[in-house]
Structure 1
Amino acid sequence: MRKILVAVFAFLLFVGCYSSTTQGGLVGANSRQIMLVSASTMNESAAKAYVDTLKSARNKGALNTNPALTKRVQNIAKRLIAQVGTFRQDALKWDWQVNVIEEDTLNAWCMPGGKIVVYTGIINRLNLTDSELAAIIGHEIAHALREHSREQASSDQLKNIGIFAVSQAAGLDSGATNLLNLATHYTISLPFSRSHETEADHIGTELMARAGYNPNDAVVVWQKMSKIGSSSTPEILSTHPSNESRIKDLKEIAKKVMPLYLATK
C-alpha cells in the first residue's frame, strides 16, 4: 500500500511540475519541461550571484570600462527584450540588467530573471556587427526565457546528483545552503544540453528577427565560432561546438523567421 501511495504522490508531483515555460512563437519553442526547483529560488540565487559577479568585475576595474561599447550592448539588448512577450508576457516585467565585463573570453550569458553579461572578448575577437551581437544576446536571453538553468537544476534534483547530492549527504538544505551558487553553477559553469542549445538558437533567432536584425547573421556568428580551433573552443559553445548540423539548422530557422525581419523594414 505504501508503495502505491508513493507512486501516486510521485505521479502527481511529476504532472504538477510538467509544463512549458514559454509560448511557442513562430519557431514552436514550447515543449514541456520538468520544474522541481522553484522559479523564486532560481531568481533569488541569480540576483545574488549577479551582484557578486559585478562586484568582482568592478573591483578588478573591468566593469563597463568602455561607455560607448556598454551603451551599444545595452541598446541591442533593449531591442531584443522588447520582443520577449512573444514567448512569455511576464518576462517584459523582469528586472532586466545588462553589463559588459572587460575580459578576453568568448562568452556571454543571461541568468534567470534577465541578468545579462557580455564579455568584451567575444565582441572584439569575433569582430561582431550589431546584428551578430544581437544573435549572441538573443541566444542567451532565450536560455533565460525557457528557464534552462532551472530545468537543469530540477533534473539534477530529481536524480539527486551534483549540488543536491552533496547537500543531502551533508544533511543540509540545498535550497538555502547553495542559494548563491545555484544560478552560477547552472547558468555559467555547467554546459547546457544539446536540446537546450537548439531551443536557444531557435528562440534567439526569432527574437533578433522581430527586433529588426537580419536572422541570417545568426548563421554567420556560428560560422565564425566554428573556425576557432578545437583546442580553444569558446565557452559559449559549451560542450556542443558549432558543427555543420547546427549551422544547417540555423539556416532553416533564419529562412522561417525572415518574414518577421522583413516586416520591420
Structure 2
Amino acid sequence: MKKLLTILLTTALLPACATSPTGRSQLMLISPESAIVESRKAYLSTVQELGAKDKLVSDPKVVDRVKDVTGRLVTIAKQEYPNTANWEWSVAIIDDPETVNAWCMAGGRMAVYTGLLNKLKLTDDEFAQVMGHEISHALANHTAEQMSRAMATTLGIVAIGVASEHSGAAMVGAAAAAKIALDLPNSRTAETEADKIGMRIAVEAGYEPDAAVTLWQKMGKEGGSAPPQFLSTHPSPGNREATLKAMIPEMRKLNPTGAMAPVSPVRIEEKP
C-alpha cells in the first residue's frame, strides 16, 4: 500500500508544471479549467446566500461606478489575455461596511465590499488598482495554484495517515486541506506578480499608476493593530510601496495620454 501511494504521489507531481505570465514556474495539480469550474460553483453559492440575506448592493451610483471601472479593466484583460474573452465576468457588490476586501476568482467572478470603497474613500484610480490586482490573480492562474498547494498538502496528509495506519484521521485532514484552498494567502511571489500585471492593466485602462502607492498607504493606515481582511490574504512586505513607486515611470509609458479604455459588459449580481 505504501509503495502504491508513493507511485501515485510521484505520478501526480511529475506533470504538474505550468508557467505564469511572468515566466515563473507554477505547481499545477489542478488545471486552470478545473479551477474555473469549481470557482463558479463556489461563487454562485456565495451570491445566492448573499441575496437571501439582502446583502447585494443595488444603489445605482455604486453599481454604475463599479461597472465602469471593472468594465474598462476587463476590456484590457481580454485584449492581453484572449482566452478570457468567454469568461463570465461578473461582480457581487457586498453590503458590508466593516469589511475592507475584494477578490476575483478563476473565471472572472469578482466581489467588492462596501467597506473597501467607503472606509478607504477610494478614488476611481485607486479602486482600479485594487481590482486590477485582483483580476491579475485570476489571469495568472493563482486560484489553480492555491488549490494545487492545498492538494499537495492533502496528498502529504494522506501519505502520513497511510504510513501510520490512521487513514480516518488522514481523510479528515484531506477535507480540511480542500477548504484551506479557498482561504490560503497568496505567496509574496504571486503578490509581486499581481502587482505588476495589475498596474499594467489599470494604466492601459486609463487609470493613474500613482494610485497603486496611495492605495497601499491608505490600506496601511486603515490596518492599525487589526489589519483589514484584504491584507490577511495579501502579504505586504515593507518595501512594497517603494517597489510600486519604482514601477510608475515605466508603466506611465504604456499609456502616456491616459486614454480611457472602452467599457466591456460586466454582470452585477442582483437581489433575487
What TM-score, normalized by structure 2, do the two folds share?
A: 0.79
| Residue 98 (1) aligns with residue 91 (2) | yes
Aligned to 1:149: 143
Counterpart residue identity of residue 186, structure 1? A
- C-alpha root-mean-square deviation of aligned residues, in Å? 3.2
Report the CA distance shift for 1:51/1:19 in structure 2 as closer, same or farther (over 3 A): same
Give structure 2 stretches of 5+ with no counterpart: 260-272
Shift in Å, 1:264: 3.9
Secondary structure of 1:61's aligned partner: coil
In the alignment of these two chains, the number of paired residues is 249
Whole-Å Cα distance in 2 between the matches of residues 212 and 116 of structure 1?
20
Give the distance between the partners of 2:161 and 2:95, measured in 1 at CA: 34
Query: Match for residue 26 of structure 2?
Result: 33
Corresponding residue to 2:35 among 28, 37, 42: 42
Q: Which of the residues 65, 75, 85 maps onto 1:82?
A: 75
2:181 aligned with 1:186, yes or no? yes
Displacement after TM superposition at 1:154 (Å): 1.1
- Local SS of the residue matching 2:104: strand
In structure 1, distance between residues paired with 2:159 and 2:62 = 42
Partner residue, 2:52: 59
In structure 2, the CA distance between the partners of 1:210 and 1:163, relative to structure 1 (3 Å rule), is farther
Q: State the Cα distance separating 1:61 from its structure 2 match.
A: 1.2
Distance 1:213 1:131, change over 3 A: same
**Deviations 1:161-214 (Å, cap 9, x if unpaired)?**
699889994587x99x89xx95x7534x22111111111111111110010001
Displacement of 1:17? 2.7
Given the superposition, is the C-alpha separation of residues 74 and 164 from structure 1 closer, same or farther in structure 2, using an over 3 Å criterion?
farther
Change (3 A) 1:13 1:256: farther
Aligned partner of 1:198 in structure 2 is 192
Distance 1:45 1:63 in 2: 22
* Bigger relative CO (Cα 8 Å, ≥ 6 apart): 2
C-alpha distance 246-39 of structure 1, shift in aligned 2 (>3 A)? same
* C-alpha distance in structure 1 between counterparts of 2:235 and 2:153, whole Å: 27
Larger gyration radius, structure 1 or structure 2: 2
| Pairing 1:20–2:19 present | yes
Structure 2: distance between partners of 1:109 and 1:163: 29
Structure 1 contact 213–261 (Cα < 8 Å) conserved? no
Task: Assess if the C-alpha contact under 8 Å between 1:226 and 1:241 holds in 2.
Answer: no
Instruction: Output aligned runs, 1:172-183, within 5 Å.
Output: none
* Partners of 2:149 and 2:181 within 8 A in 1: no
Structure 1 pair 96–240 and aligned structure 2 pair: CA distance change class (3 A) = closer
Matched-pair contact (CA < 8 Å) for 1:225–1:242: no
Give the superposition deviation at 1:232: 1.9
Tell me what 2:248 maps to: 254
Paired residues of 1:64 and 1:102 also in contact (CA < 8 A):
yes
Runs of 5+ unmatched residues, structure 1 = 23-28
- Aligned equivalents of 1:38, 1:244: Cα separation in 2: 33
Match of 2:133 among 128, 136, 139: 139
The answer as to 2:224 corresponding to 1:225 is no
Note if contact 2:16-2:27 (Cα within 8 Å) is conserved in structure 1. yes
Distance 2:13 2:155 in 1: 18
Q: Secondary structure at the match of 1:98?
A: strand
On the 8 A contact 2:129/2:198 being kept in 1, the answer is yes
- Cα distance in 1, alignment partners of residues 124 and 206 from structure 2: 11
Deviation track 1:201-231 (CA, whole Å, cap 9, x = no partner) reads: 1111111001000111011100111112442
The answer to whether the 8 A contact 1:80-1:211 is kept is: yes
